[in-house]
Amino acid sequence: MNYIFISPNFPPNYVNFSIRLKERGARVLGIGSDPYEQLSPELRGALTEYYRVYDMENYEGVLQACGFFTHKFGKIDRIESHNEYWLAQDARLRTDFNVFGFKDRDMGPIKYKSRMKDVFRSAEIPVALGRVVRSIDDARELIAETGWPVCAKPDSGVGAAHTYKLHDDDDLQLFFDSKPKIDYIMEEFIEGEIHTFDGLADRDSRVIFMNTFIFEKGVMETVNEGLDMFYYSLREIPGDILDYGTRAVEAFGLKERFFHIEFFRTEKGLVALEVNARPPGGWSMDIFNYENDADLYDRYAQLVTEGRMDEASARPYYTAYVGLKERENVFRAHTREESVEAYGDLMVHRGPIESIFSAAIGDYAYVLRSPDLSPLKEAAAFILDRR
């Protein structure tokens, strides 16, 4: 099997995909912009060959790299980055080389939030009232239906960048005076916790691994208000999350890939937010491993190479992610050393976060685990305490 990995060294923990794929017998071929010498020894050992493209935004250069690998090694079986930024380019390459997975024609509902709503509705999953608005009058017409506040976000965008909560007409005017010249979707603001349905689907869109996270704050608020990040997993998947989540996986046609689907949990039930056809960000892949005493990088490699996957254990642990903003205006009640001394027995991983992710998930983070949830919440409150 020839597996092309786009940007195989980003984020750093994704080197484990290449290592496990090689161990499962795949030929892993890397395409990236960094010099080969800057790749980690572990990644260089996992790659059969690496093709450097100086500008990964230049499609012709990436196309040429895939063509080179095809000429040298034969038909390409998979092209993947596991990275939301490259989803559309991955699909274009699969189209041009007739490779299994999402093609150009499939990307509309995966890329555009407005199109996602149509798919959720087709699966009878509730969504927030909203649509793309292209003028202030159009927005006011929508707000007459939704009321204030409203949320405005790029129809096609990654993460919470350029996402706004608008409270009144002054905010609306400022938004249209200063917003980037791209399509924005505007929708009613939903009060509720974010609950996720994450996992891995097989080639027939059957969910063969699943997880759920609960976020106490949304990513938009975390970024825009400079808040810390705290979320935790559950050992049992709630029935409504499982129902809507599996329906969404099938409706979106997610096959042989990780996914991250977000819902608001409100007083009236779940409301779908969006689908992400890639693993959840940050250290989530490693959190999957910690909560299951498993290796999901290897399980994925087994699925790709064998078409099947050994079952992971049934979530023997709760896990929690605690991400701290370490800024000049943030003062902690407890030092790192004090946090480790108090709750080190719960910590399975800790360390700095890459700057590209820090606005959302913090500058320094801890992963905690326990068979019980209450110790994790207690430890998180201690670690996060600000003066």
pLDDT in tens, 40-53: 999 999 999 999 99
Q: What are the structure tokens assigned to 318, written together?
A: 């709760």
Query: What whole-number distance in Å separates Cα of residue 169 and Cα of residue 307?
Result: 54
What are the DSSP calls for 119-180, one per residue? HHHHTT--B-SEEEE-SHHHHHHHHHHH-S-EEEEESS-STTTT-EEE-SHHHHHHHHHHS-
pLDDT in tens, 303-340: 999 999 988 778 999 999 999 998 888 899 999 999 99
Query: What whole-number distance in Å separates Cα of residue 334 and Cα of residue 324?
Result: 12
Convert 150-164 to b/e letters by CB count within 10 Å (16 or more is b): bbbbbbbbebbeebb
218 pLDDT higher than 80: no
Give pLDDT, residue 161. Answer: 60
Alpha helices (H) along the chain: 15-23, 41-46, 59-73, 87-97, 108-111, 113-122, 136-146, 169-178, 219-224, 239-251, 284-292, 296-306, 336-343, 355-361, 374-384
The band of 217, judged by pLDDT with boundaries at 50, 70 and 90, is confident
Query: What whole-number distance in Å separates Cα of residue 83 and Cα of residue 74?
Result: 25
Query: What whole-number distance in Å separates Cα of residue 352 and Cα of residue 331?
Result: 17
* Section 63-69 average pLDDT: 98
Other C-beta atoms lying within 10 Å of the C-beta of residue 90: 26
Give pLDDT, residue 87. Answer: 96
Give the 3-state secondary structure of residue 342.
Answer: helix
Query: What whole-number distance in Å separates Cα of residue 47 and Cα of residue 307?
Result: 22
224 with 160: CB under 8 angstroms? yes
R_g over Cα of the chain: 21
Among the residue ranges 205-214, 298-307, 345-354, 356-365, the one predicted with the least confidence is 356-365
The band of 158, judged by pLDDT with boundaries at 50, 70 and 90, is low
Query: What whole-number distance in Å separates Cα of residue 286 and Cα of residue 292?
Result: 10
The band of 159, judged by pLDDT with boundaries at 50, 70 and 90, is low
Give pLDDT, residue 223. Answer: 77
What are phi and psi for residue 235, nearest 5 degrees?
Answer: -80, -30
CA angle 309, 314, 320 (to 5 degrees): 110
Give the 3-state secondary structure of residue 227.
Answer: coil
Give pLDDT, residue 290. Answer: 97
237 with 284: CB under 8 angstroms? no
Q: Which residue has the tokens 């003062």?
A: 331
The band of 160, judged by pLDDT with boundaries at 50, 70 and 90, is low
How many Cα atoms are found within 13 Å in the side-chain-facing hemisphere of 75?
A: 5
Mean pLDDT score of the chain, rounded to an integer?
95
- Domains of the chain are 2-102 (3.40.50.20), 129-188 (3.30.1490.20), 193-384 (3.30.470.20)
pLDDT in tens, 84-123: 999 999 999 999 999 999 999 999 999 999 999 999 999 9
Q: What are the structure tokens assigned to 228, written together?
A: 């810390």
